[in-house]
Amino acid sequence: MELQEIAEFLIIGHAERVEILTRQALEAGYSANDILQQGLLAGMDVVGIQFKNCEIFLPEVLTCARAMKAGMRHLEPLLRGSTTTSSTGKCVIGTVKGDIHDIGKNLVSLLLQASGFEVVDLGTGASMEKFMESIQTHRPQIVAMSAMLTTTMTQMETNIATLRKQGLLEGAKVLIGGAPVTAQFARDIGADAYGRDAMEGTAKARELVQSLKNH
């Protein structure tokens, strides 16, 4: 089988087929990461382009997102890997208020766990109060926020300013990401780091924890 086939069924939103093909690809010896990159994410890229060009609409995108999740169910335990005994650090992550996108955030959360982070996931539409409560309870080294809309990315700025004012970011670093977010935007709003994707985000999170340890 070809991983391209997984992408093709994801593009037409066929969750059942995506799930079966993902399982078969694993049985055939493909790595979880290759299936993710060349199958599921390759398909999701096309969905994004079609949506942008108005070739498909929200209901179709939602169906594709479900197909993505059906495949991810098989990959998640493998991508998470064997969690190390000593935790890399703690991270509170959430998609900000007003934003319901969670596929990218879930991937970041997963890779953080795979690299030994203890992750507290606030889900989607996480209010500032939710972040505040969770930071107070868990005292994470990393506060990670995801935003996929130009209208919700500004919420990250409000969150950072408020959290900082309340002293909740002492001993913690802020990592942000999401399709409309850039490194420049991260600097402008006072975030400590920006991750273009889940891999880069995880690497940045590790660097930030290291920088906290060095101080």
- Residues near ligand B12 (CB under 6 A): 41, 44, 47-48, 51-52, 58, 61-62, 65, 98-105, 107-108, 144-146, 148-151, 175-180, 195, 197-198, 201
State in angstroms the smallest separation of the CB of 16 from ligand B12: 18
Between 85 and 184, name the residue whose CB sits nearer to ligand B12: 184
Nearer CB in complex with ligand B12: 3/145: 145
Residue closer to ligand B12 (CB basis): 21 or 107: 107
Pick 53 or 86: Cβ nearer ligand B12: 53
Report in angstroms the alpha-carbon separations of 164 from 22, 27, 155, 170, 204. 43, 48, 14, 8, 20
Tell me the closest approach of the beta carbon of residue 5 to ligand B12, in angstroms: 19
User: Cβ of residue 109: shortest distance to ligand B12, in angstroms?
Assistant: 9
Which residue's entry shows tokens 């660097």? Answer: 207
Task: Please report how close the Cβ of residue 85 comes to ligand B12 at its closest, in angstroms.
Answer: 25
What's the closest the beta carbon of residue 162 comes to ligand B12, in angstroms? 18
Closest CA to 202 of 96, 38, 79: 79
Long-range pairs, 103-107, Cβ under 8 A, ≥24: 103/44, 103/65, 103/68, 103/69, 104/146, 104/148, 104/177, 104/178, 104/179, 104/198, 105/146, 105/178, 106/72, 107/197, 107/198
Identity of the residue, 28 or 161, whose beta carbon is nearer to ligand B12 in the bound complex: 161
